[in-house]
Chains A and B, each alone.
Chain A
């Protein structure tokens, strides 16, 4: 029993590999093709990811509201459940029973599909997220590239949602989001590239293992900050929340969405927030590595600290102007990221 618990927390990968092998053996005994067994096994990962996604959104929305309240000398949610922890659950219940309004002039199929495209793009990212030692659904050779590529898909959902709403504010929000993500992806990718150079691999697991115990954040301080800024802009939050700038665009691309479709956009947004924290943890903060505590705990702890920093930034800084946003990306972040890449490349060759 003790060894099982130890394995469950400290060596989860080996445990899961054991289960996978057992499942394969059981499947082979019944004459099932290995592909079927694999698909069933992956379904388990999918269920786990969906469960985590829901719980994480539940927690992170409460956390953001609480932090925002504290920063504004308010109390924040404190009615539903202990410390208001179940507030999000109550809100979700409310959204579930709300009327699902689709504007008459909307492009119905696209309008209906958009929230699911955005959410699917975030769920797919869990495939390469290393939660612990071996606790990663699929440690792809090109995990980092996969992460960057799939996270770019969500902009299609946002843009099509804005387009299909047939509303000028929605469309403007969608366009802004597309322009913003395209612009900020470039410095973000360049920074990730310099991390990949240091680690010598694009595999998430290898990058975590290649890091010194203090993580790449100290070797790449400029890169770390650039990455935080770029990912903050890519998830459309805080001083970069132009796609849903309420003071100008009502609510941007979600203006026409209501009920569960709105909730899906919301869920995707908060999952993206966690994913930004998790990706930063993996690349710069040593991932699941850390003394004493189980890897999963370390990973979540570090991720939520990054999430806190992003929330902190959101509730501190005012929103940028559109042209400033673009200038900041192309004239400041991009040259800095290129310089960072150059210095990293030289140092990797020399040292």
Chain B
């Protein structure tokens, strides 16, 4: 049998008031908890290995050069044509499997990582660089082949492990 209307209503009101108190307690106790904000310019977080900053084409220390073969897969996969490659040609005029220039347009790049995923030679990788604002639009198009970027630190060894590897994908 259900309780009569009046006691049920009173119980409802009381439980409602209790829930209000609970809410107030949550916000009040939150005031004494540590803030989760990182005061950015002064303090920085340690970026995860897979962080997607701007694209770079690092120098492979074993080879002394980048690993790109100008196969154009990244150009084809890029959803907004941010990559443009000129193939290098040898002294006899025949094209070489090397890029003469690898123009990466930072202004249109959406950091989707598709070019990195599709590259069969692990020639390109997304770096930690994320403070990319510039007042000069011409600086947004970067020739990655001419840049001769050196990927160091943890990310560098993580990248090298991919192609040196133990036969399995890192």
Taking Cβ atoms with an 8 Å cutoff, the residues of A that contact B are 67, 69-75, 78, 312-313, 315-317
Contact = CB atoms under 8 A, between A and B. Distances in A.
Contact of B36 (A71, A73, A312, A315): A73
Contact of A73 (B20, B28, B35): B35
Interface residues of B, number: 14
Contact of A75 (B20, B28, B30, B35): B35
Chain A contact residues: helix, strand, loop or mixed: loop
Interface string B16-31: 0000100110111011
A313 B24 contact: yes
Interface of B: 20, 23-24, 26-28, 30-31, 33-37, 39
Contacts of B37: 73-75
Contacts of B24: 312-313, 316
B12 to A, nearest CB: 13
A73 B31 CA distance: 7
Nearest to A70: B31
A232 B37 CA distance: 31
Contacts of B20: 317
A316 to B, nearest CB: 4
Nearest to A78: B39
Contacts of B27: 71, 312, 315-316
A70 B36 CA distance: 10
State the 4 A-B residue pairs at the shortest beta-carbon distance, nearest first: A70-B31, A316-B27, A71-B27, A75-B37
A312 B34 CA distance: 18
A53 B150 CA distance: 60
Nearest to A72: B30
29 contacts: A67-B31, A69-B35, A70-B35, A71-B28, A71-B30, A71-B31, A72-B30, A73-B33, A73-B34, A73-B35, A73-B36, A73-B37, A74-B35, A74-B36, A74-B37, A75-B35, A75-B37, A75-B39, A78-B39, A312-B24, A312-B27, A312-B28, A313-B24, A315-B27, A316-B23, A316-B24, A316-B26, A317-B20, A317-B23
A118 to B, nearest CB: 29
Contact of B30 (A73, A78, A313, A317): A73
A306 to B, nearest CB: 15
A315 B26 CA distance: 11
Nearest to B26: A316
